[in-house]
Amino acid sequence: MTLFPITNEERGRLQRLGKQKDILFALKKLAFNTATKGTLPADVQTLAAERIAIDIIQDIFHQLEIIQPDDKAGEPTRNLV
């Protein structure tokens, strides 16, 4: 289930953003610096949660780099009723 669906127009904007490598790199640095701000506690569960969060952030930026607009041209439209 997607909580915040992305429209085709937004996908196109994100695709154009992904082509601007210097801006994308700056966004990555900002996100990672914000996610890892502060001192890391010695608690193992907290460290594991932070590691998982960093993996999720990396996946988000990977998806941003490869995002493509949905191409619905050529798809037949049918009455679903």
pLDDT of residue 43: 78
Does 81 have pLDDT greater than 60?
A: no
pTM of the full structure:
0.49
pLDDT of residue 23: 87
pLDDT of residue 67: 81
Question: What are the start-end ranges of the H helices in 2-81?
Answer: 8-18, 21-35, 44-66
Residues 13-67 pLDDT 10s: 888 888 888 988 888 888 888 777 766 666 777 778 888 888 888 888 888 888 8
**What is the DSSP secondary structure assignment for residue 74, as one 8-state letter?**
T
Name the residue among 60, 57, 53 with its Cα closest to residue 17: 60
